Structure 1
Amino acid sequence: MRPKHTVADILEMEQLQLRNLSLTSWHYRALQAIRRCRTKAMGGHIDKCDCCHALHISYNPDSYRDRNRHCPTCQGHKREEWIRAREGELLNVPYFHVVFTLPDTLNPVALRHPKELYRVLFDSVWETLCAFGNNPKHLGARLGMIAVLHTWGQNLQLHPHLHCIVPKGGVSKAGFWKKGTGKDDFLFSVEAMSGKYRGRFVSKLRKALPHLPQSLYDDLFKHNWVVYSKPPFGRPEHVIEYLGRYTHKIAISNHRILAIDKENGTVTFSLKVYRKGGKKTTMALDTKEFIRRFQLHILPKGFTRIRHYGFLGSSWKKDKLPLLQLQLADMGLTQIEPLIAEEKSLHHCCPSCKKKTLVTLLSFGSRGPPKNHEQIIDRKPLKYNA
């Protein structure tokens, strides 16, 4: 179901004021790309279905040109592609979802030095897990991890944290699978990891940003850093589908926007209050404040927000991971069959009959046609059907 209101609608309302919001050129470019996406400014195309012969007129997304990953409209297709790519990497072992957070004391640093701070976050989390995983007292094996950076809370304020998926076990130095023997909530004590994580983070931050005041570090050690783990997934094949909710998620989806009051210049959106057990409520913000909060979560240019480590890293995937899957199969843990690998994506199918792929007959507008049909993302046909 298409949302009634979108982030692009809000940006369109305030487009004349965007340059007055103290935005960097990178943030301004990203917001303009979101505002233009699937509008007349991007041109369009006419497609025809091979089966039912219906014609569909659609505006082009901006993301096929700029690959803007912050656009709420263009993430569904990328998410499906990511899930398909990960399904072949599943192991038939339990998986954990672990979250590493940062205290709000670091929010000013995140605003001024986002690339350095978020890089330190990724590195310190992986080093913390490795410190426990490599220790023979805990596991004595090489771990694997998929980590996804989120920078927001439900109210759109800055709240950097890392979502991590970690298999229960690792690869020994001899190259054999070693099953984890930790508690049901995680491989290791989250309380012990919290202290190690804080120490690693502060040490690496001092090296990355040596000009930060000592008072900041003193304050960081006054707080207990939050690390928490959710219970292991019921079945391994649920892991990737679950993580897919996080990989291409942005600060707020269009479906959460409930109302836009153009006369008063306000936006009302839904949110969950996790301190009250996930209770649903609403919040109203001035449109300028909404845009200010939204742009806080536009990542630095070229920064990678989804990273793979250990035996789930790129150096393992090509050769060693298939061998590990075969080894687990010999142990009686058969390889997981992909859930949707054989399904045909509906993003390129006819919206009317959902049987055949659409063929582009004509492109119009100043942007020109995409290089190929696959670059048209998340088609949303307009009102003409023949």
Structure 2
Amino acid sequence: MKNSTVQGFLQTSFAHYQKNHGLPLYQIKAAEQLMRCRTEALGGHSVYCEDGHLNGVWYNSCRHRSCPQCSALKSEQWQQRVEALLLKGKHHHWVFTLPHDLHNIWRFNRAFCQQLLFTSVRETIQKLSLDPRYLGATPGVILALHTWARNQTFHPHIHCVISHGGLGSTGEWQTPKRASFLPAKVMMMIFRGKYLAGIKKAIAADELVIPTNEREQGLLNLCNKLGRQDWVVYCAKPYEHGQGVAKYLARYIRGGAIKNSQLLHLGNEHIKLRYKSHQTQKTEYLRLTHAQFMQRFLSHIAIPKKSQYQMVGLYHGKCRRKLNQAREALGQIALNEVKVLDWQSFVNRQGEFVCCKQCGKTLNQLRPIEKGMNITEFSGSYVH
């Protein structure tokens, strides 16, 4: 196949896969959106300068969170907003991972388990941060959900970015009592207890869908077993500032689990992709059948109306006054309104100049083109 992209793969293989597999509606709708992205099915837009000179016509983007070909602007906008919030100084990066034995429950209760994972991590961080033995204050926290490992297998986990310090109840800046801030073992135990308690409560209230070939008592026994085992809470080396990890997270907030640049070959029966291994830190290669890759890709489609990230503590939208108190204590200016990156500035950052080819004035007018109209694309690429 010539079109070695996620869209090309879906256009070739999704209809056949759908006939042979029961899929949730949101995955079907997402695949349909991705297949129509930047095609005549979504219509298009023409771009004009302030004097009315036509400078190009392009098909519209689908704007789906899991689309790898139209999320660049949204990712950079998210990164810019986060970087504007960040407090000066060191930030910790922790990763909370669910045991493999709980994956089947997730597959049958995606929205519930996603929310429970966020809640368990958030409440664990809040509980320990307010403990005077560790900090006794409210830090700034960002939580970001990933459901995949680098080889695209199902691997739900949350990345946590937390400021090294927080604002105390009387408005003073507090620094952690420990160099590592919070103890990993204690974090793991509280996180584990909160997540398993949430599963048990849902079972008792008959609010959990029991997976096929499973029984309620079997799930309770599994929870009891996992409650005696260690879970993975990875504490990475602290960053001297938060920008690095914000940039890392921005790549995954939008655009889905697989980027087009990772697909090396789409054959009639197999696909080949590359990824950087966490274990070896080297580029490795994976060969999958169309069905195997489709199953992995669809399992990571973002759930509608469920956020992939949460801003907590001083970084929460309702804590702007406290955030500015903390910024003042750290010698930073107050944060008011965060300017949103516009598409013209984004294109300029990519090394292209957003100006009229005829008169040199700014391109600032977009006019819609009807759906289904076959348009000729000009050279260049503007992302809206």
Query: What TM-score comes out, normalization by structure 1 length?
Result: 0.83
Paired position in structure 2 for 1:125: 121
| Counterpart Cα distance in 2 of 1:173 and 1:362 | 52
| Residue 136 (structure 1) shift | 1.3
State whether structure 2 residue 195 is matched by structure 1 residue 193.
no
1:85 & 1:72 partners in 2: Cα distance? 21
Within the candidate set 266, 273, 298, 2:270 is matched to 266
Provide the rounded CA distance (Å) in 1 between the counterparts of 2:238 and 2:104: 34
Find the partner of 1:320 among 319, 322, 331.
322
Aligned counterparts of 2:201 and 2:302: Cα–Cα separation in 1: 22
Q: Deviations over 1:139-184 (max 9, x none)?
A: 111233110100011222210000111001112121221012322x
Q: 1:269 Cα shift?
A: 0.6
How much identity, in percent, do the aligned residues show? 28
User: Cα–Cα, structure 1 residues 243 and 294, in superposed 2: closer, same or farther, change >3 Å?
Assistant: closer
Partners of 2:380 and 2:192 in 1: CA distance: 57
Contact 1:350 1:357 in 2 (8 A): no
- Output the aligned Cα RMSD: 3.2
Q: Give the SS at the match of 1:9.
A: helix
Match status 1:226 vs 2:225:
no
Give the direction of change, closer, same or farther, for the CA distance of 1:239–1:15 in structure 2 (3 Å limit). Answer: closer
Whether 1:162 and 2:158 are equivalent positions in the alignment is: yes
CA contact (8 A) 1:93 1:167 kept: yes
Aligned residue pairs total 358
> Is the counterpart of residue 61 in structure 1 residue 65 in structure 2?
no
- Post-superposition Cα deviations, 1:270-326, rounded to whole Å, max 9, x if no partner, equal 022323x22211111112221111111123321111101112112202x22223212
Matched, 1:93 2:89: yes
Q: Which letter does structure 1 place at the counterpart of 2:29? A: R
Bigger CA drift: 94-103 or 187-196?
A: 187-196
User: 2: CA distance between counterparts of 1:232 and 1:189?
Assistant: 14
Aligned to 1:372: none
Q: Quick one: distance in 2 between partners of 1:305 and 1:341? A: 20
Which residue identity lines up with residue 274 of structure 1 in the other structure? H
Gaps of 5+ in 2: 207-215, 356-360
State the Cα distance separating 1:382 from its structure 2 match.
4.0
Would the aligned equivalents of 2:93 and 2:236 in 1 still touch at CA under 8 Å? Answer: yes
Cα distance in 1 for partners of 2:45, 2:252 equals 31
Question: Which piece of structure 1 moves more, 25-34 or 358-367?
Answer: 358-367
Q: 1:253 maps to what in 2?
A: 259
Distance change in 2, residues 1:283/1:239 (3 Å): closer
Counterpart residue identity of residue 193, structure 2? G
Gaps of 5+ in 1: 369-379
After superposition, the Cα gap between the structure-2 partners of 1:140 and 1:305, relative to the gap in structure 1 and judged at 3 Å, is: same
Per-residue CA deviation, residues 357-383 of structure 1 (Å, 9 max, x unaligned), is 435575433279xxxxxxxxxxx9544
How far is 1:226 from its partner?
A: 0.6
The corresponding residue for 1:376 is: none
The letter for the 2-side match of 1:225 is W
After TM superposition, give the deviation of residue 120 of structure 1 in Å: 1.1
1:187-221: CA deviations, max 9, x gaps? 11212211221112111221134354222213323
The residue aligned with 1:146 is 142
Tell me the amino acid that sits aligned with residue 279 of structure 1.
Answer: K
Tell me the distance in 1 between the aligned counterparts of 2:192 and 2:160.
17
Is the counterpart of residue 182 in structure 1 residue 178 in structure 2? Answer: yes
Cα distance in structure 2, aligned partners of 1:156 and 1:242:
17
Match for residue 201 of structure 2?
A: 207
1:256 to partner: Cα distance:
0.6
**Structure-2 change in CA distance of 1:83 and 1:273 (3 Å):** closer
More deviation in 22-31 or 350-359?
350-359
Equivalent-residue separation in structure 2 for 1:288 and 1:250 (angstroms): 18
Normalised by the length of structure 2, the TM-score is 0.83
